[in-house]
């Protein structure tokens, strides 16, 4: 009987069975793989093993969209279909899912509606990017969102087309008719579901690689206790690049994507609880309803393909100083739930980041969930992301601010930045300049003046240190101006 300790009590778990292979569907066909490098990307597998060469390799980092495929998974009694980047998606994570490539849509003799429309509207020139664009539009066609120019732009934000221009592609998208998810694979997908822990062990060019796919928290903590140096894999939008760009060898991986408890979103009167395995695409509505500007920034994290894989917990756990979620959540007063085999502890999110590359995470411990307080009626919340591109780009500066306003007096001021220090960090002196003061231009400018005592930014490829500081200061003033005008202010270069 598998057991774990939690807050001094034992949680009894079922007996865990294991299997040493994965099963998935490829365009409706059941595939079983046992001797497969679990870190082989889906793109490599499709092109080199299955000769599905319609899926193209462009950037190998989830940016250009040439490798876009549909990833189908069971969602209750239905199939949920989403566009994803095959170039950073590991084959070990495909157990119980279906991959749909452009070859599954239509043929030259009988093209799919989207393929026909792209041809008729002259939406393809060199054609390299076209299969990925078609797959992104296929995902949009079967999505429940109403079709509009805005949703089309969001669907295509992760697809780079260098020669055609997006006008005719958008024309094709506007002309396509809504369509339901093809449920033909439903019975096959259902038959592939199981409660066993997948344990792959493969020798790849003399390197022993292990891949674990647990289904319960108890099994996860047990495996992590045995393999404390394992790489924890959630969405893979960051870890995937360790393999494709940094050429790292990941000898032991524990995949979190099938641990049901980590994929839960729960809500009570005071807080929103988001499991560490919840994807951006699944959390954006909940977070956006509570904090609309937070939802606006999340829509600019990567593109649809990235948000369909990337997780809130993964963005926090990797500890990047330019991760967008930490400053957004820190300003909202979020807390982090950390779990180990023996205990569970809750810490303020800002305390998780100790220094560059170092987080408050003990051996055998992992991020379980994030607790986000619901805003109060007197609370104001602002969030901004500054980057060279509007979508699919890393922040030069990310800023979020929250404060309560009663009788014109500021309290509970929280100002957090990303990109300004070695970790996501609160602006303590700027907060102090506002705390207990009137919400006035004079006092917001005092916070602006205090900001250089909170941060010493650096020069890098994204921005110079002087630019970062000026933008960071301007964002504080921007928040105040927007609040006074009750409307967004689009000019950043305010006179401070």
Task: Answer with the one of 206, 226, 243 that is the final residue of a domain.
Answer: 206
Per-residue pLDDT band for 10 (boundaries 50, 70, 90) equals: very low
Q: Can you give the CATH number for the domain in which 31 is found?
A: 3.10.20.30
> Is the model's pLDDT at 449 over the cut of 80?
yes
Q: Is residue 17's pLDDT more than 80?
A: no
Same domain, 287 and 433: yes
- Residue 487 pLDDT greater than 80, yes or no: no
Q: What is the pLDDT of residue 178?
A: 85
The reply to whether 165 and 306 lie within a common domain is: no
User: What confidence score (pLDDT) does residue 182 get?
Assistant: 75
Whether the per-residue pLDDT at 422 is higher than 60: the answer is yes
Q: Is 414 within 8 Å of 406 (Cβ atoms)?
A: no
In which band, very low, low, confident or very high, does the pLDDT at 183 lie, cut at 50, 70 and 90? confident
Q: What is the mean pLDDT of residues 377-387?
A: 97
Question: Quick one: 166 and 291 in the same domain?
Answer: no
Predicted local confidence at residue 6, as pLDDT? 39
Whether residue 324 sits in one domain with residue 452: yes
What distance in Å separates the CA atoms of residue 193 and residue 457, rounded to the nearest whole number? 49
| Residue 485, both tokens | 């005008």
Q: Please, what is the average pLDDT of the chain? A: 92
More confident residue, 108 or 278: 278
The reply to whether 323 falls in a domain is: yes
Query: Can you tell me the mean pLDDT for 37-45?
Result: 96
Q: What is the pLDDT at residue 16?
A: 62
Q: What is the pLDDT of residue 184?
A: 80
Given a cut of 90, is residue 101 above it in pLDDT?
yes
Domain contains 221: no
184 vs 174: CA distance, rounded Å? 26
| Residue 3 included in any domain | no
Domain that holds residue 454: 264-485
Structure-block tokens of residue 352: 């998780």
* β-strand pairing of 252-255 with 207-213: parallel
* 146 and 50 belong to one structural domain: yes
pLDDT of residue 306: 96
Residue 181 has pLDDT above 70, yes or no: yes
Residue 241 lies in a domain: no
Segment 112-143, tens digit of pLDDT: 999 999 999 999 999 999 999 999 999 999 87
**Crossing angle of helices 149-156 and 166-175, rounded to 10°:** 120
More confident residue, 487 or 77: 77
Whether 118 and 184 map to the same domain: the answer is yes
Between CA 303 and CA 295 the distance in angstroms is 14
In a domain, 151, yes or no: yes
CATH number of the domain enclosing 335: 3.30.390.50
What share of the chain in percent tops pLDDT 90?
Answer: 84
pTM above 0.85, yes or no: yes
Is residue 178 located within the same domain as residue 306? no
pLDDT reported for residue 206: 87
32 and 137 assigned to the same domain: yes
Residue-level pLDDT at 228: 93
CA distance 55 to 57: 7
The count of structural domains within the chain is 2
- Domain limit, last residue, from 156, 188, 206: 206
- Indicate the range of 77-86, 118-127, 181-190, 429-438 predicted with least confidence: 181-190
Q: What is the pLDDT of residue 493?
A: 40
Read off the pLDDT of residues 151-165 as tens digits, 9 standing for 90 and up.
Answer: 999 999 999 998 888
What percent of the chain has pLDDT above 70? 95
- Last residue in a domain, options 157, 183, 206: 206
- On the 0-12 / 13-18 / 19+ scale of CB atoms within 10 A, 132 is buried
228: in domain = no
Burial class (CB in 10 A: 0-12, 13-18, 19+), 177: exposed
Question: Are 189 and 282 in a shared domain?
Answer: no
Residues 291 and 404 in one domain: yes
Task: Tell me phi and psi for residue 63, to 5 degrees.
Answer: -115, -35
Identify the pLDDT of residue 5: 34
Query: Is residue 327 very low, low, confident or very high in pLDDT (cuts 50, 70, 90)?
Result: very high
Q: Quick check: is 492 in a domain?
A: no
What was the pLDDT predicted at 492? Answer: 42
Q: Is residue 17 part of a domain?
A: no
Q: pLDDT digit string (tens) for 270-297?
A: 999 999 999 999 999 999 999 999 999 9
Residue 54 or 492, more confident: 54
Tell whether 188 and 286 lie within a shared domain: no
The pLDDT of residue 2 is above 60: no
Is there a single domain that holds both residue 375 and residue 270?
yes
């Amino acid at each position: 009987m598998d057991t774990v300790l939690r807050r001094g009590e034992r949680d009894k778990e079922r007996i865990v069975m294991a299997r040493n292979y994965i099963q998935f569907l490829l365009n409706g066909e059941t595939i079983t793989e046992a001797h497969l490098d679990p870190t082989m990307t889906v793109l490599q597998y499709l092109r080199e093993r299955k000769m599905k060469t319609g899926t193209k390799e462009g950037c190998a980092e989830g940016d250009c969209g040439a490798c876009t495929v549909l990833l189908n998974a069971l969602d209750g009694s239905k199939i949920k279909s989403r566009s994803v980047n095959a170039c950073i998606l590991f084959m070990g994570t495909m157990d119980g899912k279906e991959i749909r490539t452009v070859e599954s849509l239509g043929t030259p003799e009988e093209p799919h509606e989207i393929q026909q429309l792209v041809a008729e509207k002259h939406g393809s020139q060199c054609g390299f990017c076209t299969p990925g664009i078609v797959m992104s539009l296929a995902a949009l066609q079967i999505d429940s969102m109403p079709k509009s120019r805005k949703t089309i732009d969001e669907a295509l934000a992760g697809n780079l087309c260098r020669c055609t221009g997006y006008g005719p592609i958008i024309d094709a998208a506007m002309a396509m008719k809504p369509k339901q998810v093809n449920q033909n694979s439903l019975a096959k997908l259902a038959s592939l579901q199981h409660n066993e822990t997948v344990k792959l062990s493969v020798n790849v060019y003399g390197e022993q690689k292990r891949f674990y796919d647990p289904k319960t928290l108890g099994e996860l903590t047990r495996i992590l206790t045995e393999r404390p140096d394992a790489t924890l894999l959630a969405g893979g939008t960051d870890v995937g690049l360790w393999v494709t760009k940094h050429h790292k060898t990941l000898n032991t991986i524990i995949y979190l994507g099938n641990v049901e408890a980590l994929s839960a979103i729960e809500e009570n009167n005071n807080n929103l609880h988001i499991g560490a395995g919840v994807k951006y695409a699944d959390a954006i509505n909940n977070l956006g309803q509570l904090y609309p500007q937070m939802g606006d920034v999340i829509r600019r994290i990567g593109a649809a393909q990235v948000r369909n894989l990337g997780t809130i917990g993964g963005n926090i756990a990797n500890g990047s100083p330019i991760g967008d979620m930490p400053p957004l959540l820190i300003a909202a007063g979020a807390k982090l739930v950390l779990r180990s085999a023996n205990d569970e502890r809750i810490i303020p999110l800002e305390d998780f980041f100790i220094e560059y590359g170092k987080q408050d995470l003990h051996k055998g411990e992992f991020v379980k969930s994030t607790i986000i307080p619901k805003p109060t009626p007197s609370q104001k919340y602002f969030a901004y992301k500054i980057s060279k591109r509007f979508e699919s780009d890393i922040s030069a500066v990310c800023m979020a601010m929250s404060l309560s306003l009663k009788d014109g007096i500021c309290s509970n001021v929280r100002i957090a930045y990303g990109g300004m220090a070695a970790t996501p960090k609160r602006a303590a002196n700027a907060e102090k300049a506002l705390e207990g003061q009137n919400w006035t231009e004079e006092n917001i400018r005092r916070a602006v003046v205090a900001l250089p005592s909170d941060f010493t930014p650096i020069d890098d490829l994204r921005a110079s240190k002087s630019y970062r500081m000026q933008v960071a200061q301007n964002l504080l003033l921007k928040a105040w101006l927007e609040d006074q005008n009750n409307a967004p202010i689009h000019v950043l270069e305010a006179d401070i």
